[in-house]
Amino acid sequence: MKWRRLNGDSLKNPITEEVEMAILREKALGHTLKICIGSDSQVKGGQIEFATVIVFLREKKGGYFYIRNEIEYREMPLRERMIREVAKSIEVAYGICDLLNEYDIELEVHADINTDPHFKSNVALKEAMGYILGMGFVFKAKPDAFASSSCADKVI
């Protein structure tokens, strides 16, 4: 999968190498990091576009993120699409979690799912929460899930 920066520049190395280089660079600058991973999707005609982001938060110093976009060509009910977003985030989190443990970096997985039952996405809240927590990750949902609801949402 192709990862890129917000300015459109492609990342040249596998994502685990890019994340490790970013961690080393930020630590060398004296920054304390937290990483948040989230995904969002949008239905466009007969396809669904997904965006997954890895957000690097520098304590009191802002942050930046890496982006991966994917397209699936099929119809998908809302609940399935919400869980698919979570699965994409967990796939990335699982791929870098050993690295984050090695450097003692906090990780959160964000789900673009509303905690308010009046919203349609709430239909997948319990499943998403169970999936993320069951994998051993910290779970955040709206309104605290900025990686998915703000960052990933903006790059679809």
Q: Which two tokens stand for residue 44?
A: 């466009």
Question: pLDDT (tens digit, 9 = 90+) per residue, 87-108?
Answer: 999 999 999 999 999 999 999 9
Mention every residue, 6+ apart, whose C-beta is less than 8 A from residue 90: 109, 131, 132, 135, 137
Domain boundaries, the chain: 4-154
Question: pLDDT (tens digit, 9 = 90+) per residue, 33-83?
Answer: 999 999 999 999 889 999 999 999 999 999 999 999 999 999 999 999 999
Structure confidence at residue 60 (pLDDT)? 92
Q: Is the pLDDT of residue 21 over 80?
A: yes
